[in-house]
Amino acid sequence: MSSELLVDLGEDPAAAQLGQLKLSTLEDQQWPPDESTLSKSETDSQGFDPGSPHLPGNHPFYDIARHQIIEVAGDDNFGRKVIVFSACRLPPQHQLDHQRLLMYLKATLDQYVESDYTLIYFHHGLTSENKPSLSWLRDAYREFDRKYKKNIKALYIVHPTMFIKTLLILFKPIISFKFGRKINYVSYLSELEDVVKCEQLVIPTRVREYDNKLRASLKPSTQPPTSPPRSPPLPDQVFGVPLSVLRQRDPDGDPVPVVMRDTINFLSEQGLEIEGIFRRSANVTLVKEVQLKYNSGVQVSFRDMEDVHLAAVILKTFLRELPEPLLTYQLYNDIVNFAAVSSDSQAEVMKTLLEGLPEENYASLRYLITFLAKVSANSEVNKMTNSNLAVVFGPNLLWGRDNAMSLSAIGPINNFTRALLDQQHLVFT
């Protein structure tokens, strides 16, 4: 993985230089070709599911969203939300309203830009047929003001070609030094494991196949490292262990895992008035150290570390690494279709659904939601309303069996989480 000096996308002097770029002559020329060429059939086969049951036809951006160009993939290893953009899913230029694509991208980012976030761009599949124009890129740059740029912590360009490198060089005069340090080239998918668990990403089949071809073309001596195999669980493993097993191990048989008890107790004491709680990332080395302590049976004291954001990331990480989500796969379809339930019946329906959970899941969920209600009660200070908390915790409470989180499902899941937070006093009675 390499980082090159390229860009902060947000200062007015830099943005002002955009108008000085001479784009007209370039747009009259043919774009530089990618290293790989694709047949028309390959271009048309985007690998998306336009008939996704989670994407209603009245979705305001249905015409864009159905292509699944943009996805949200939970949190990375630093506790930051991950946004994925797949170039191979861009249809031919004449089939896509690029202005609406820009509006859809902004609408998606609007849910996350107040938190630290990571952007992963899968470049493979961008062809002369589906490449946006340079003028569109210029206009897009102008649209994304500092609100969108200040909390992006890293941009990973996967499978970069000479085209994308040339494009970034072209834009280098208007890209600030600060943002340039956030841009990283990723040659192989295995390199992403340092940042995020690839199994939770919505990686198009074409991108995986291309990655396999790249690896196969290398000599054995230059093969990149493969994704590290999962290490066998430690005797006292806590992360990635079923709640039922953790309950059996607990000396008191407490259905709420020790990680949730420790983090929530600490955050209840010291985090309720921290602005942006759950929105900031943490030092990945400290996160790994705390995980190792828990997995080794060592007692952890967040009071000694005095790091609210570390405790918040550990809580989210614990939930995301459960082998089955807290809300369980069994409730997945009910929850993504929850919007069909009338507002008058929502509390009762939620109550019925959740009472069918295993006891340890129900107890842990109630413990978490009760705490989050306290966080929301201090939203004038910490800025974390029920809506904001739902965006943060929704993807950590439920995901599909393939671990990947599609944007068409994340909206309904977040909405269910928001409804649960709004009506928790009626649901948990």
Domain ranges of the chain: 61-216, 243-428
Task: Scan for tokens 């490292």, then name that residue.
Answer: 225
Q: Using DSSP, state whether 292 is helix, strand or coil.
A: helix
CATH topology identical between 61-216 and 243-428 = no
Indicate the SS3 state at residue 186. Answer: strand
Confidence of residue 181 (pLDDT cuts 50, 70, 90): confident
Q: Report whether pLDDT(204) > 80.
A: yes
Give the model confidence (pLDDT) of 83-135 as tens digits.
999 999 999 998 999 999 999 888 888 888 888 889 999 999 998 899 888 88
Give the separation between CA 63 and CA 95, rounded to whole angstroms: 10
| pLDDT beyond 60 at 220 | yes
Report how far apart the first and last C-alpha atoms of the chain are (Å, whole number).
51
Nearest C-alpha neighbor of 78 from the set 157, 195, 200: 195
H/E stretch holding 86: strand 81-86
Indicate yes or no: pTM above 0.85. no
For the domain made up of 243-428, the CATH class stated in words is: mainly alpha
- Give me the pLDDT at residue 179, please: 74
pLDDT at position 222: 60
Q: Which residues 6+ apart lie within 8 Å of 217 measured at CB? A: none
Hey, what amino acid is at 205?
A: T
DSSP 55: S
Report the distance separating Cα 267 and Cα 307, nearest Å: 10
Those residues with Cβ within 8 angstroms of residue 95's Cβ, 6 or more apart along the chain or in another chain = none
The CATH code of the domain at 61-216 is 3.40.525.10
| Main-chain phi, psi angles of 122, to 5 degrees | -85, 105
DSSP line for 93-104: GGG--HHHHHHH
Give strand pairing partners of 70.
85
Confidence of residue 30 (pLDDT cuts 50, 70, 90): very low
Closest listed residue to residue 176, CA positions, set 168, 166, 187: 168
Per residue in 284-307, pLDDT (tens digit) is 889 999 999 999 999 999 999 889
